[in-house]
Amino acid sequence: MKRASLFRTGLLAIAVLLLSGCATIRQGEVGVKRTFGKYSDTPYTEGLRFFNPFTTRIIKISTQTENLEVGLSIPSKEGLNILSEVSILYSVAPDAAPEIMRTIGTSYEQNIILPVFRSSVADVTSRFYAKDMHTGERATIERAIRDQMMKYLDEKGIRVEAVLLKSIQMPPSLARAIEEKLEAEQQAQRMEFVLQQARQEADRRRIEAEGVRDAQNIISEGLDPAILQFKSIEAFLELAKSPNAKIIVTDGDLPMLLDSENAVQTSNRLRN
């Protein structure tokens, strides 16, 4: 009975040890085994992993995209300090997890990402004016900061996916100056549009006048004496067909037709 009891006690102890030395690695993370203070070169992927809890520990590291938010004062080219909130989207390469644990540790955000970020921000934003952070240049600044960080972090196994400048708080005087400048630029654009419309209207009128002039020139060039004589004959023939009384005044070339009232008045004047 004593032997059976000892056997059961031993099995229970072994079961407790096995259960206490079990780790579950989920998707989106890797496990780095540390035995007697030495890290393994090969990380564990997702699954159930057993280990000796007396000599070994498995440290889990996320390989998903992480969002590190930072609030800081960034310098501009004209020497101003601008308050901003920045999001750093990064992820850890699974194969680089053991080396990160050996050389940096679990506090890699504080130990390496933030210092590199602050240095990169100061280097990049000092090449841009403060107003650029409110225009399309913001995307250029974000890409430049990311590229600057990747020069150092890529070899460490940390991928910077994006750097996003969120809230930008400028000094009130500068903000007013930028707003006034933008309003002036918009006013200048509106005036340019008005001037462009005026130029287009002037061009339209000039083209229309040129068309009328060309039409008149064509007509005047076509009215030679022979054509005028022919038209005069046609007019006489049409007048001869009419039964109404008319007075035709002509120089022998071009007729002028008068109606009955005007014809009487003209006849009286001729008699007198």
Q: Which fold has domain 66-170?
A: Tetrahydropterin Synthase; Chain A (3.30.479)
Average pLDDT over residues 97-116: 92
Enumerate the CATH 3.30.479.30 domain ranges in the chain, comma separated: 66-170
Distance CA 44, CA 242 (A): 116
- Of 239 and 267, more confident: 239
Question: Lowest mean pLDDT: which of 83-87, 148-152, 256-260?
Answer: 256-260
Q: Assess whether pLDDT exceeds 60 at residue 269.
A: no
Cβ contacts of residue 12 below 8 Å, gap of 6+? none
Residue 21 corresponds to which tokens in the numbers above?
């030395």
Helix (H, G, I), strand (E, B) or coil at 83: strand
What is the separation of C-alpha 184 from the centre of its chain, rounded to a whole number of angstroms? Answer: 22
Q: Read off φ and ψ for residue 196, nearest 5 degrees.
A: -65, -40
| Entry pTM | 0.57
Give the other-Cβ count within 10 Å of 192's Cβ: 10
Enter the tokens of residue 124.
Answer: 């990049």
